[in-house]
Amino acid sequence: MNKTVSVLGSTGSIGTQSLEVCEKHGFRIAGLSANSNTDLLEKQSRKFRPDYVCIYDDKKYTEMKQRLSDTSVKVLSGMDGLCEIASLSQNDILLNSVVGMVGLLPTFTAINSGKDIALANKETLVAGGEIVMSSAKAKGVTIYPVDSEHSAIFQCLQGSRREHLSKIILTASGGPFFKKSYEDLKKVTKADALKHPNWSMGNKITIDSATLMNKGLEFIEAKWLFDLTPEQIEIVVHRQSVVHSAVEYNDFSVIAQLGVPDMKIPIQYALLYPDRLECPTKRLSLTDYGTLTFEKPDYETFKCLSTAIKAIESGGAYPCLVNSANEEAVKFFLDDRIPFIEIGEIVSSVMENFAPAQISCYEDVVKADISAREYVRNIIEK
């Protein structure tokens, strides 16, 4: 298969797994980017020989240039560099797996250049869902979901008629603190929060999985990707992470997608769509699992989850505000500045402390993002 791919966030968990998939299928790599991991970015550059690499952290630019001075790889940096790679004319598809709001502008740039996107940056849709989806539509760009749940829904929708869809069932692992009470959560440590039962992921998303914010963000992501109302999305806790999500049709037939919990399957589906070839992962053995369980989430204890749903129900800038407040609060938690329980308190307080505002362009997103981060810093640093 002859495809040219650029990977933003190539040294992260999704990025490295994406390159494994690209290598397996002999894809050409046009561009790679990393936040600050010059060591791995150099290794990847020597292996895949991209035309461009971008080191997002400007302070590492000179070092990166030095490291690759004996190669023909062009070195870029900062947001300009990310956007240049996002819009390379040689890209057949851009895999965007940068973490956080930083991913939004590269997504827009790829859309404006008419490039299809395999999207692993959920903040893109959470913060700018309405404008991202409408500009993708206007430019004829397809956004392929990489998130395992959204890939599952996308797969369950194949060969069906959209008007037959009645709702989706978004599965959640429940994270490391499933069944814990609010009192229990007051005592959890950073090490506890960084231990995920099924998936191995970067720090930000692992904390989001512990607070269930991750499922809240995915709820919003699903709303935009599949043009659903919040009432059409049901969250079900499924501890084994084997059923990656399901779709219910008007006749109450439910179609689910199953597989081992390995991101390479959804990554590969996004990059190879509509083809299906052997994936570099394990096959699913249902009898090894034996039992699959399904339960209701605890919306009272996990305030991030209920807040994210409230935010998308309220619409406008609320999803962006809640997402940015969460990003900022998680940073403070990872720096040992606030306890775990505080993340949910801060995120939920956004809904009462911000007046409704509209998002009609990229600048509106940036404005909401800045104000939410300032709001969080004021709470913590006062």
**In whole angstroms, how close is the CB of 193 to Mg ion at the nearest point?**
17
Q: Which stretch binds Mg ion (CB under 5 A): 1-9, 106-114, 146-154, 374-382?
A: 146-154
- Could you tell me the two tokens for 9? 């966030």
Closest separation between CB of residue 285 and Mg ion, Å? 22
| Coil, strand or helix at 128 | helix
Q: How far is the CB of 327 from Mg ion (least distance, A)?
A: 17
DSSP 35: S
Of residues 343-362, which lie at the interface with Mg ion (CB under 5 A)?
none
Q: Which helix (H) or strand (E) holds 207?
A: helix 203-211
How many Å separate Cα 13 from the centre of its chain? 11
Spatial distance between the Cα atoms of 361 and 131, rounded to a whole number of angstroms? 7
Angle at 85 between CA 83 and CA 91, to 5 degrees: 125
Q: Judged by CB, which is closer to Mg ion: 126, or 376?
A: 126
The stretch near Mg ion (CB under 5 A) out of 9-17, 113-121, 148-156, 223-231 is 148-156
Part in contact with Mg ion (CB under 5 A); list of ranges 29-37, 125-133, 142-150, 255-263: 142-150
Q: Residue 244 or residue 310: which is nearer to Mg ion going by CB? A: 244
**With respect to Mg ion, which residue has the nearer C-beta, 45 or 268?**
268
By beta carbon distance, the residue nearest Mg ion is 147
Q: Residue 170's beta-bridge partner residues?
A: 235
Q: Please, what is the minimum distance in Å from the beta carbon of residue 218 to Mg ion?
A: 5
Entry field: residues in the chain: 382
CB of 202 to Mg ion, least distance (A): 12
- Which residue, 148, 193, 204, is CA-closest to 172? 148
Binding span for Mg ion by CB under 5 A among 144-152, 154-162, 188-196, 277-285: 144-152
Size of site (CB under 5 A) for Mg ion: 3
Candidate ranges 93-101, 143-151, 153-161, 296-304; the one touching Mg ion (CB under 5 A) = 143-151
Nearer to Mg ion, 13 or 307 (CB): 13
Cα separation, 7 vs 160, whole angstroms: 31
Q: Give, to the nearest 10 degrees, the angle between helix 213-225 and helix 203-211.
A: 100
Shortest CA distance to 154 belongs to which of 253, 265, 19?
A: 265
C-beta of 148: minimal distance to Mg ion in Å? 5
Nearest approach in angstroms of CB 320 to Mg ion is: 20
Closer of 122 and 331 to Mg ion (Cβ): 122
116-119 β-sheet, strand order:
74-77, 52-55, 28-34, 4-8, 93-96, 116-119, 143-145
> Are the CB atoms for 304 and 348 separated by under 8 Å?
yes
CA-CA distance, 379 to 382, in Å (whole number)?
Answer: 6
Q: Among residues 84 and 149, whose Cβ is nearest to Mg ion?
A: 149
The interface mask with Mg ion, positions 100-139, x = CB under 5 A, is: ----------------------------------------
Q: Two tokens at 66?
A: 């030095």
Of the two residues 98 and 359, which places its CB atom closer to Mg ion in the complex? 98
Judged by CB under 5 A, the residue of 147, 248, 262, 369 near Mg ion is 147
Residues 86-105 that bind Mg ion (CB under 5 A): none
Beta bridge partners of 236: 171
Q: How many other C-beta atoms can be found within 10 angstroms of the C-beta atom of residue 259?
A: 22
For the bound state, the minimum distance from the C-beta of residue 199 to Mg ion, rounded and expressed in Å, comes to 8
Q: Which is nearer to Mg ion, 258 or 351 (CB)?
A: 258
Instruction: Quickly count: other Cβ atoms within 10 Å of residue 324's Cβ.
Output: 28
Stretch that binds Mg ion, among 67-75, 127-135, 149-157, 303-311 (CB under 5 A): 149-157
Q: Which is nearer to Mg ion, 84 or 147 (CB)?
A: 147
| 3-class secondary-structure state, position 130 | helix
| Nearer to Mg ion among residue 4 and residue 151 (C-beta) | 151
Minimum gap (Å) between residue 283 Cβ and Mg ion: 21
| Site of interaction with Mg ion (CB under 5 A) | 147-149
